[in-house]
Structures are given as structure tokens and as C-alpha cells.
Structure 1
Amino acid sequence: MTPSLNSIVSRLHLKQLRLLIALGDHGSLLNAAKQVALTQPGASKALQEIETTFGAPLFNRTNRGLEPNAVGNCVIRYARLIHTDLAHLREEIVGIMRGHGGRVAVGVIMGAVPRLTEAISALIAKHPEMSVEIVEDTSATLLNLIDAGRLDLAVCRTTISQTPYLYESTKVQDETLAVIANVHHPVCGEKELTLKALADFRWVVYRANMPMRMLLEREFREAEIRFPLHLLETTSAFATLSLLQSNPTFVALVSIDVAQFFTRHGITRILPLQLSSRSEPYELVTRKGAPLTPGARHLIEELIGQSSETDVNSSDPVESASSPQHK
């Protein structure tokens, strides 16, 4: 029978977690004992205590040493997470005591990466000792990480959640989409394109049931064109870019921010295709009722400040990106 949480908390010690991590690294009781400054008998006794605490053996004893079983791998993984969290705790405390905020962990969906990185650059300029962890993933994954306390905030969408009321959210900006391709794509010389002209090319898109993908499907449906059967699906900006570079006939649907970033650096071209739909706006999301660290507050200030500047300076982003200086 698995012990209760109270039992585990009351019996488990931080030095035991260090021993578990060392055993995971070395697979040898002797080497692990040396790493955590224990004698081998002391380490053996500590391991017995750990296994008693969790109510299950964690390692298989073999002639090659100790090999973690399924439960052992799980426990070692969480031991590493706890150790990392304690390191982050210390880092944040040092930052607070020095008055610069310490550390912030932020999540972001692909389309909002350029906006977030601009905010982070502004943050670091004001607080050079700040540490920032950036996690790029889907909105669903980022919200799960917020729920688990792994992220302080995220730039994503709460509309995909079945429990959006669990979050505080502020609109950061509307998302305009663009279709991009390799600068040597066969249609790059065209001044105007229709969706039908691109229907037979291989598309790089988000996976099914995600807002950007659903918007593209709607565009095809409204144009009465069959949606492409063979797709390249990814949530990674780098994978998208790499695919476009590897094959000049591919096309991709991305946010205008990502499209402009790639185009400014001469990597891709924004194709002259006007989409009739707009995607859902980005939101700045935190867990409702959760206290904000100083680092999170500083980053939120930069993101909100950026959003205000965008509202003041807004113009047609697709038209701007298609102007000669962006080609």
C-alpha cells in the first residue's frame, strides 16, 4: 500500500533526494555515496529508508549495480525537479534581497515568441541580473504548467481550456496570420494569390483542433476547396523555418509577428494572400489567486507596455510586411 502524502513528507529528507539523484547518475551505490559524502553502509541504510518511505523497491540489484525500476525512475525524476525548484528558490530569494526580482518562468505559444522576446530584452536591460526560463509549447500544455506551478505566467489562450475561470487573463494583442514560403518558392513573384493557387503545395501547420489550424480549415471550407490531406504538423517555429528552408515548395501558416521576423532576416517571403479570418487574440495568463513574484510583475509590465505601444502604432500588419522594404 502506498504511504500517505503526510507520511512521505514527514519521513523524506533532502539529503535522501540528493542520494537518489546521484544513484540515477551513477548506478553505483559506492559512487553515489561519495558524491553526497556518505559511507557506503550509510548510503545503503539511507536507500532502505527511502524505499520504506515510498512503500516500494526503487532499484533492481544487478551485477552491474543499481538500475532504477519504473517507480525508481519516477521518484528520481521528481527528486531532480525538487532539487531544481530549490535552486530556483534560492536564486529568487537572492534576487529579491538585491532588489532586482530574481527569476521568472514564462510560457509562450509559437506566434507570440517575437513579442515575448522583445519584452524580455527590455526586462533584462532594466534588470540585468534577472534570470528567465522560456517554455514554448501549445496553450493546453502551458496552462497545465501554470496549474502545476511550473510557470509564473504565459502568453497563450485560455479559450482552449474547459476551466478558463481558473485563470486571470488580459488580452495582449489580436493575432493576424500570414502565409510564408522560401524566398525561392515558385509563386514568390506573384503580386496577388488565392488560396486555390496554394492548395496543391505541402502545408506546414499546427496540429488539428488548435485555433490556427481550425482557422485555415475554415478558409479552405469557405473557398470550397478540399483541405490538403498530407500535412506537416508542428508547433515549433524552428521546425517550421527548417522545413521551409529544406524544401522551397512548402508553405506555412504563421502569425504575422513570426512572419515579419523571418522576412526581416531574408529567410522567408510573406506571400500576397489575404485571409478573411483572424485568429483569437493572445492573452497574458496567470493562475487566479496565485501571488506574483517580483520577476513576473516586471515581465508583465513590459508585456502590457508593449501592448499599449502596439495599439497606438497599429496599422495593417500584412500590408506593412508586404511592402518593398520587407521583401
Structure 2
Amino acid sequence: MDKVPSLCSIAARLRLKQLRLLIALDDRGSLHKAAEHISISQSGATKALHEVESMIGMPLFERQPKGLVANEMGRCMIRYARLIYSDVAHLREEMISIMQGQGGRLSVGVIMGAVPLLTRALTELRLKQPQLSVELVENTSATLLGLLDQGRLDLAICRASVGQRSATYDCIELTEEPLAVVASKQHPLAAADALQLSQLSDYRWVVYPKDMPMRQALERELNEAGLQVPRYPLETSSTFATILLVQQDPTLLAVIPVEVARFCEQFDLLVKLPVSMRALIEPYGVISRAGADLSPAAALLINELQQDLTT
């Protein structure tokens, strides 16, 4: 611990130019390419990197055949460099919004099952804040938490437990995620009045990637029914791909959130099969970085999400 510089020392000596260089080195893998990317000379890049390493008291990169590769301390510095630089970028965007009389900017990540809830909340929010700029990213919880760590998202509507550092997040629990089995309208079982899970065992499935909650839920149900997990499944984390694959192939089945299944039925895209599926074990919630100050727009969105669930 004696070798770690003090907070005052870091604040006095660390520069945004140095943070940009660390990010560019991680992205480009060489001093020459990194210097070119941020428009400084290679000697200037070498000096800036030396300044950071002198401040920390140890090297941050190792020279390997494929280029410069960050060591453990380097990866730590790069992760926070991305967070700081992202916050500065958001600061600039909000300054522009204020100067132009606009409503600010909000970047939100969402898992498939929470998309209907989020879109309803965003519709209400934009009625009240019509000049609010919103970026919406749909992906798995693990991917969204990574984007949150990097400062690329203000909020993520997902599950914190799949992250490697769940204690570094603040979570406001929202709701459980009931599941449904869906099929094409031309599927042999599409018109059935009632089904048991065992009657689905001969069909192929579109599934979420391994270790994802949706995949685990399906395998749990099959195991408890004494059935084999799907062999040779089609694996995707894309909602759109899942819907299209099932719609176009009358032999496929998929497990998706009930809200998404209702949407598909409403627009005559898929049918929800009459088979019982339990909700995912862990509810999803609104996740933010622990201790981070939420923007007014983020706080308003959380309020809209909570109001939607109580109406």
C-alpha cells in the first residue's frame, strides 16, 4: 500500500490526455497507432505513458508479439479511464443540451423481458420531456453490466447477480419475469388446448447462450421433468433472431418472457403454447454503478418504471 499514490497526488498529476492514451493503447495495441489515433507524436505518447507509470510506480503494459498488452494494473487503469472519459463525454453532451434548451441525454440497457416495460416508461417520459435524447441497447445482463462498468450506459434493466462484481452496483428491484414457450402458427402443437413439457421433447429449440438465466430456466424445467436438455439447439441472445427463427421454422420452439410472447401474439407473429413455465428465480431491476449520481432524466425514468408496475 505504501507504493500506491495518494488521491491528491493522482488528482494533481493525472491528465485526460493520459487517459485517452491508455484507452487508445488498449484499442490499438501499439504506441505508434495509439499516438496516431489521438493525434500526438510517438515521442509524446511515450512520455505520457512514462508519466502515468512513474505516478503509479509500476509498468502498465507488457510487450508481446501481438503488441502492447495491459497487465492487471493496466487493465484497472484502462477500465477507470474509460469511465472517466465517458463521464466527460456525457458532461459535454448535457452542456450542449442545456445551451440549446434541450432535455439532456440518457443511455439505457435492457434485457429482452423488460423491453415492453421500458418502452412504455420511455413513451410516458418523452411525453413529459420531448427533447430528451435516448439511446436504447438490448442485450444479455452480462453484456449490459460490462457496458455499465465502462460508463457506456447510465442505467441497465437487468440482473446484477450475473456480474463478476455485483457489490459494485446499486439495484432497485422491479418485477419477476414469467416465461412462456412459443412456436410458429404452423407448428404441429400450435392448436393444442393443453400440453405437458414431455410432449415438447422431440422438437428443436432456439435458446439463450449457456449460463444465461433464460437458458438455465429451461434446463431446470426439463431436468425436473426427467427430460433431456435440447440437443443441437440454435443459440442466440437476439430477441429479433429468436422470433424470426421460430416464425419461419414450424419445428422450432423457444422460451421467451410472457410480455414478449403476448406482443408476438397480438401482432400474429407466434403462438404461446399452453404449457406451464415458472418465472425466473431472480427478479430484474434497474442497475446503476454504486454511488453514482443519477442524472435528472435517469431518476425520472426510474419513477416511470415504478409507476407502470403499480398501475
- TM-score (structure 2 length as normaliser): 0.72
Is 1:45 matched with 2:56?
no
SS of structure 1 residue aligned to 2:275: coil
- Structure 1: give runs of 5+ residues left out of the alignment: 310-327
Give the structure 1 partner of residue 261 of structure 2: 259
Amino acid at match of 1:176: P
* Aligned ranges 1:22-33 → 2 under 5 Å: 27=30, 29=32, 32=35
* Cα distance in structure 1, aligned partners of 2:23 and 2:146: 25
Please, which of 134, 140, 144 is the counterpart of residue 132 of structure 1? 134
Is 1:297 matched with 2:299?
yes
Distance 1:294 1:29, change over 3 A: same
* Cα distance in structure 1, aligned partners of 2:301 and 2:132: 10
Give the structure 2 partner of residue 69 of structure 1: 69
SS of structure 2 residue aligned to 1:69: strand
Q: Residues 51 and 58 of structure 1 are in contact (CA less than 8 Å); yes or no, is this contact kept in structure 2?
A: no
Q: Residues 3 and 53 of structure 1 are in contact (CA less than 8 Å); yes or no, is this contact kept in structure 2?
A: no
CA shift at 1:78, angstroms?
5.3
* Cα distance in structure 1, aligned partners of 2:93 and 2:185: 44
* Aligned ranges 1:1-327 → 2 under 5 Å: 4-6=4-6, 8-21=10-23, 27=30, 29=32, 32=35, 35-36=38-39, 38=40, 41-54=43-56, 55-56=58-59, 58=61, 60=63, 67-71=67-71, 74=75, 79-95=81-97, 102-139=104-141, 151-157=153-159, 167-172=170-175, 174-206=176-208, 212-213=214-215, 215-217=217-219, 219-220=221-222, 224-230=225-231, 231-245=233-247, 247-271=249-273, 273-275=274-276, 277-280=278-281, 281-285=283-287, 291-309=293-311
CA shift at 1:51, angstroms?
4.1
SS of structure 2 residue aligned to 1:68: strand
SS of structure 1 residue aligned to 2:206: strand
- After superposition, the C-alpha distances for 1:207-262 in whole angstroms (9 at most, x for unaligned) are 5666544544454456x441324244544323423442564311011111111233
* Cα distance in structure 2, aligned partners of 1:34 and 1:108: 32
Amino acid at match of 1:227: Q
Distance 1:186 1:51, change over 3 A: same
* Cα distance in structure 1, aligned partners of 2:34 and 2:190: 61
Distance 1:134 1:67, change over 3 A: same
* Cα distance in structure 1, aligned partners of 2:182 and 2:229: 17
Amino acid at match of 1:275: S
- Report the RMSD for the aligned CA atoms in angstroms: 4.4
Give the aligned length: 302
- TM-score (structure 1 length as normaliser): 0.69
